[in-house]
């Protein structure tokens, strides 16, 4: 199927590893031009090399921190100068460091405001910076990556979930506001994923080390989920295995492609069925 991505101008924020890298590879294989953003240039360059090999005609890398409007504005100004317009914005970056824990653990309000600044306001900054260039393009798509856990009662994740729920609300409003501009906005909410590195990678790897479960087994990963989050979190996954980054990358590429021409304002769970509500 032709996704209509050949030579499309695609910006991926949070592309130095994990789901963002997997999504970049998918867009590259469909012939899109890519601008990759994250803090770690080395990770971005690794993604870029893979994308060039897969057939992307142009890959640009920008080291920028989402908490800094100056960083984000500078990266988008450079992208605008190079391309003149942007078709696709993938907001995937998130840093959940220090946000895991039960309610009473957090007596310092700075934990909440800093997490909100990093995640929710980070997505505001990139969207604000991209919009003038998206308005110049013939078609536009925004995909904001949230999490299925915003809709679950997960005490250990409440700080992170509050920030991710905020960007879901922003996405609904943006979808309505930007539809007349030809820009469709959707949310992709992943369930649990096998990831190398990253914050979540560190959290789960230390758990695997403690319990003797096998981090390379998608089945053990489900057991880890249930043990960490309780209430049958692992058993609830219909596919009986955890997801892989490439499966999320493919879903992001679909939401962010030209062929997806009528879907907007949706929050799509990619979670092996674990959050089915009927």
Q: Which residues bind ligand NAP (CB under 6 A)?
A: 14-20, 38-40, 43, 65-67, 92-95, 118, 145, 147, 190, 192-193, 195, 197-200
Task: Tally Cβ neighbours within 10 Å of residue 102.
Answer: 9
Q: Output 130 or 137, the one with its CB closest to ligand NAP.
A: 130
Contact criterion met (CB below 8 Å) for 233 and 271: no
Tokens in use for 102? Answer: 């039960």
Closest to ligand NAP by CB, 94 or 183: 94
Tokens for 211, please give them.
């319990």
Task: Choose between 51 and 137: whose C-beta lies nearer to ligand NAP.
Answer: 51
Indicate the residue whose CB is closest to ligand NAP. Answer: 18
Helix (H, G, I), strand (E, B) or coil at 126: helix
Nearest-approach distance from CB 194 to ligand NAP, in angstroms: 8
Minimum distance from residue 148 beta carbon to ligand NAP (Å): 7
CB of 182 to ligand NAP, least distance (A): 26
- Closer to ligand NAP by Cβ: residue 57 or 197: 197
In whole angstroms, the minimum distance from the beta carbon of 195 to ligand NAP comes to 4
Q: Which of 189, 246, 195 is nearest to 23 (CA)?
A: 246
Cβ proximity to ligand NAP: between 29 and 75 the closer is 75
Q: Which is nearer to ligand NAP, 17 or 33 (CB)?
A: 17
Min separation Cβ 57 and ligand NAP, Å: 22
Tokens of 10: 């695609």
Calpha distance 36→44 (Å, rounded): 7
Burial class (CB in 10 A: 0-12, 13-18, 19+), 185: buried
- Interatomic CA distance for residues 90 and 187, integer angstroms: 10
Cβ 88 to ligand NAP shortest distance, Å: 16
The per-residue DSSP string of 141-185 comes to EEEEE--GGGGS--GGGHHHHHHHHHHHHHHHHHHHHHGGGTEEE
């Amino acid at each position: 199927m032709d996704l209509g991505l050949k030579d499309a101008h695609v910006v991926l924020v949070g592309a130095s590893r994990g789901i963002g890298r997997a999504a970049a590879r998918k867009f590259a294989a469909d012939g899109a031009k890519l601008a990759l953003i994250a803090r770690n240039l080395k990770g971005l360059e690794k993604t870029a090399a893979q994308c060039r090999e897969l057939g992307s005609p142009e890959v640009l890398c920008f080291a920028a921190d989402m908490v800094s409007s100056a960083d984000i504005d500078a990266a988008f100004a450079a992208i605008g100068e190079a391309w003149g317009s942007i078709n696709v914005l993938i907001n995937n970056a998130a840093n959940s460091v220090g946000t895991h824990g039960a309610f009473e653990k957090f007596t310092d309000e700075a934990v909440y405001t800093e997490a909100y600044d990093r995640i929710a306001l980070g997505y505001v900054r990139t969207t604000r910076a991209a919009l003038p260039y998206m308005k110049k393009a013939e078609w536009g798509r925004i995909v904001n990556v949230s999490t299925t856990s915003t809709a679950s009662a997960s005490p250990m994740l409440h700080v992170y979930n509050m920030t991710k729920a905020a960007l879901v609300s922003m996405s609904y409003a943006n979808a309505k506001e930007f539809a007349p501009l030809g820009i469709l906005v959707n949310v992709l909410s992943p369930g649990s994923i096998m990831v190398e590195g990253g914050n979540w990678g560190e959290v789960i790897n230390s758990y695997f080390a403690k319990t003797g479960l096998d981090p390379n087994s998608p089945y053990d990963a489900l057991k880890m989920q249930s043990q960490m989050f309780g209430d049958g979190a692992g058993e609830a996954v219909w596919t009986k295995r955890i997801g892989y980054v490439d499966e999320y990358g493919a879903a992001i590429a679909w939401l962010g492609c030209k062929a997806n021409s009528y879907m907007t304002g949706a929050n799509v769970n990619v979670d092996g069925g674990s959050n089915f509500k009927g």
